[in-house]
Structure 1
Amino acid sequence: MNAFFANKVVLVTGASRGIGRAVALAFAREGARLVLAARSVERLAQVENEVRDLGAEVLSVPTDVTSHDAVAALVDAAVDRFGGIDVLVNNAGIGKVGGVESAAFEKDVHQTLQASLFGMIDVTRRALPILRRQGSGTIVNMSSVMGRKAFARFGSYAIVMHAVSAFSDSLRQEVSDAGIRVVAIHPALTATDLLKEAAEAEMPPPFRHMTPLSSDDVARAVVAAVRRGRRRVVLPRTANMLLLGEALSPRIGDLIATALTVRPVARALGMSRGKTYHETIVSHPGL
């Protein structure tokens, strides 16, 4: 256990599964006190027990982040129980796959905005007065590589992840003089159930043979980013090549994205090392 996080209060949204669960457990191992939020009461209770088994104090609050009242109750419960919030991890969200011309595209954008952006904004705005009174704290916003470079058939998700990136960049500058840090996490494809409803053929082309990160990979990066005061983290590191190409020229970014659809190229870049996303989900249905 690292003393850096001993008794720190960490609030994690979307904590009942996937990255949120892994982040909660990672901070619990560091000696933090956890506040867990998610819609699923049953799954949240399971994670609460896992956190408690690690010896950490924990409070779980069933929460739909799209509800202002529920968000207010969540933050109030955290402060009533632990007296403050040291780290806020905004992880709750959804993802939809489909082309821009698909009948569901506009609806997908609206739903993803509500769950993945406006919920994040609401939780953050509710927590900010507490962090300002403390004169310290870290806000972690879970974005995606898609928050810097969009792929075909993932436009609705990329729109929202770009917005999360912009929100994080703006917020970081606004609160820097208050002792509050903001970090945006940009993982590539991760082995969670975010896309399990999408057929393999419907996935963005580069994803179809890509080996996903594990939730534990992302959780370790979150803990390290908070400890080191990072502002932005991209996972895996090789994904920075794609983002650099996109920054230089959209043509270069598109060429790299197209190259990733070729398995030998993706393998050479370390992005295709084993099981694909769907193979991983099938072999680990509880992710």
Structure 2
Amino acid sequence: MFANKVVLVTGGSSGIGADAVVEFAKQGASVALVGRNETRLKEVATEMRKIWSQNPRQKADVSKETSENRHSTEVDKFGKLDVLVNNAGILRYAPVTDPNLLANYDEVMNTNLRPVIHLSSLAILT
């Protein structure tokens, strides 16, 4: 179903993202995976190599704009992008009285929302 398709998965180092990487590879996709945890990225890449011989991966934090721009470099290796899976995300709990409430809010928005908008716009331009 995904033969000759290029897929970029953010948050690809664990959980749903890691499972998505393996499933896309099983379906014949070329997968670029992005995540913050280099050890877990290598583990997922090892699983992916059992299915598909290549495994572009990028240790990056989607909350950092410079990292987001590097994701397009991973996709450039394939020459196109067919599917973008905006999977990276974090969860922070903080009561309204927490003195770090806005810092927590900014961290969540910079990880969960801003990269979705930015990477989606890059994907459209690809």
Common fold: TM-score over 0.5 = yes
TM-score, length of structure 1 as denominator length: 0.41
Amino acid across the alignment from 2:119: V
Contact kept in structure 2, 1:31 and 1:56, CA below 8 Å: no
Amino acid across the alignment from 1:59: P
TM-score, length of structure 2 as denominator length: 0.89
Amino acid across the alignment from 2:49: R
The equivalent of 1:28 in structure 2 is 25
Misfit runs of 4+, over 4 Å: none
Contact kept in structure 1, 2:6 and 2:81, CA below 8 Å: yes
- Shift of residue 54, structure 1, vs aligned partner: 1.9
The equivalent of 1:123 in structure 2 is 119
Indicate the SS of the match to 2:88: coil
The equivalent of 2:11 in structure 1 is 14
Tell me: CA distance 1:67–1:106, structure 2 relative to 1, closer, same or farther (3 Å): closer
Moved more, 7-16 or 59-68: 59-68
Amino acid across the alignment from 1:99: P
- Shift of residue 112, structure 1, vs aligned partner: 0.1
* Matched residue count: 126
Indicate the SS of the match to 1:84: coil
Deviations 1:140-168 (A, max 9, x none): xxxxxxxxxxxxxxxxxxxxxxxxxxxxx
Indicate the SS of the match to 1:61: strand
Amino acid across the alignment from 2:44: V
1:107 to 77, 81, 103: 103
Q: How big is the alpha-carbon RMSD for the aligned residues of Structure 1 and Structure 2?
A: 1.6
Contact kept in structure 1, 2:57 and 2:74, CA below 8 Å: no
Identity of aligned residues (%): 33
Amino acid across the alignment from 2:34: A
Distance 1:56 1:10 in 2: 15
- Shift of residue 56, structure 1, vs aligned partner: 5.5
Q: Tell me whether 1:5 sits opposite 2:16 in the alignment.
A: no
Distance 1:129 1:121 in 2: 13
2:68 to 71, 84, 102: 71
Contact kept in structure 1, 2:11 and 2:35, CA below 8 Å: yes
Q: Whose helix fraction is larger, Structure 1's or Structure 2's? A: 1
- Any gaps of 5 or more consecutive residues in structure 2? none
Distance 1:55 1:34 in 2: 9
Larger Rg: 1
- Shift of residue 69, structure 1, vs aligned partner: 2.3
- Pairing 1:73-92 to 2, within 5 Å after superposition: 73-79=70-76, 81-92=77-88
Q: Tell me whether 1:51 sits opposite 2:48 in the alignment.
A: yes
